[in-house]
A and B are shown apart, each in its own frame.
Chain A
Amino acid sequence: MVDQRDMASIIGEVGFFDGLPPDTLELLAGCAKNVRFNAGDYIYREGQAADTFYIIRHGSVAVQLHVPGRRPLVIESLTTNEVLGWSWIVAPYRWSFDAQCVTLVRALAFDATCLRTKMETDCAVGYEMLRRFVTVMSQRLRGTRIRLADMYAPTVNAAD
């Protein structure tokens, strides 16, 4: 069993939380626990309540879009030290996609209600968390936009 102090030090080693002061890490540790999923497990499904957010400590997760009549489309894969899920921070707090484990996954799971309450009561913590999430969202949005360009599509050389 990991006590809260140990959990704070585990959280402190995750890049996403780099630079947070010890008291903030302690605060976050109060909402966190270790979880494990097997390959093939769904961590969450589209439409379910987004009551948790995850930092992947080991393994790979496919974020999928269910497409009627087709196999699910993987829109992004996430791996060690990456953030999984931000719907918990955006009302109405429901997952927009499925998240399926490609491998065994170990992760830190943060209770969303606990975290939202702490972010609302401590504005400095709330701002810091939002700032970090906006960075992640921005990177993923940029990646998605680049992929929209379909950059590997064949292009004709004028001589050909």
Chain B
Amino acid sequence: MNVHPGTAKPVEDPMLPLTYEVVGIKKELPDTVTLDLRAPNGMPFEFEPGQFNMLYAFGVGEIPISISGDTSDPMQLVHTIRVVGKVSQAFAKLKEGDSIGVRGPYGVGWPVNNIKGSDVVIVGGGLGLAPLRPAIYSVLANRGQFGNVVILYGARTPNDLLFEEQLHEWRGRFDLHLDVIVDRAEAGWPGRVGVVTQLIDNAVFDPEETAAFVCGPEIMMRYAVQALADRGVDTKNVYVSMERNMHCALGFCGHCQFGGTFVCRDGPVFAYDTISELFTTREA
């Protein structure tokens, strides 16, 4: 008998989703919602920052979605979903009390426990902040075990900033540095306009003692890694979260094959050095 990785509850089939109830819905952006889910019988859901679940909209389909909640609150499973296709559209239409299928968690997450003692630079772009949020929670919950903590976030426009209330909250802390930049804005926006890599140039951290977590569109991650390297950060200490077409989430189906690796099983978080060649391979 297999063990369901998220709940430690024996299940007969790792491909079989468990039914979770929607207990909270927050519209983050016009096209993005956060769902709070509760497990059947109130079972806790243990996961590592950066892992993902396969979420099933009954009768519509199943998609991989990163967990955006707090590892220290296993009673609440949190997913932030952007509406791009028919499955995510179905999730956006859910109401409290509705049910969805969940299987997971899957994959390798951010190595928060292995970077203690380092300065931490977290670089997010767009919806990429969602998979980073559990890592941020984890670092802040153990704040004394890290050096400088820097969060750099880039978005398309000021109206596209994810978790805006939380960004304000983090910015108000004295023990971390948070900077936000947008690609474009109208006059009156008091923040920065430019690319997220510009924030790396001026951020305060010791490059030789820094570990970086980067998540966002691949083009953004490529330039962010380059900017970190230009600052002197060893790319073996840089971790990126990849997004591929994950179907089975168990490394069987091959849909998410990325060179010799499977993103669902060997990732989605990779040490940059282990995939650097693939990262710059042209696919067309």
- On whether the beta carbons of A143 and B245 are closer than 8 Å, the reply is no
User: With A62-B193, A77-B192, A153-B156 given, is the CB distance from A160 to B84 under 8 Å?
Assistant: yes
Contact of A160 among B88, B126, B189, B219 (CB under 8 A): B88
User: With A71-B188, A74-B187, A158-B245 given, is the CB distance from A147 to B195 under 8 Å?
Assistant: yes
Q: B102 to chain A: closest CB distance in Å?
A: 15
Report if A146 contacts B (CB, 8 A): yes
- On whether the beta carbons of A159 and B193 are closer than 8 Å, the reply is no
Contact of B184 among A74, A149, A158 (CB under 8 A): A74
Restricting to A28-80, which residues have a CB under 8 Å from any CB of B?
Answer: 60, 62, 64, 70-77, 79-80
B236-253 interface bits toward A, Cβ cutoff 8 Å, 1 = contact, 0 = none: 000000010111000000
Report if B210 contacts A (CB, 8 A): no
| Interface size, B (range) | 35 or more
- On whether the beta carbons of B85 and A64 are closer than 8 Å, the reply is no
- On whether the beta carbons of B193 and A72 are closer than 8 Å, the reply is no
- On whether the beta carbons of B193 and A74 are closer than 8 Å, the reply is yes
Contact of A147 among B160, B183, B192, B243 (CB under 8 A): B183
List, in ascending order, chain A residues with CB within 8 A of B198's CB: 143
Report if B165 contacts A (CB, 8 A): no
Q: B128 to chain A: closest CB distance in Å?
A: 9
Chain A positions within 8 Å of B, measured between CB atoms, are: 60, 62, 64, 70-77, 79-81, 100, 102-103, 143, 146-147, 149-160
Q: Pull 10 A–B residue pairs with CB atoms less than 8 Å apart, ordered by A.
A: A62-B189, A75-B193, A79-B202, A143-B195, A152-B216, A157-B64, A159-B63, A159-B85, A159-B87, A160-B87
4 pairs of A and B residues whose beta carbons are closest in the complex: A160-B85, A152-B126, A152-B156, A72-B187
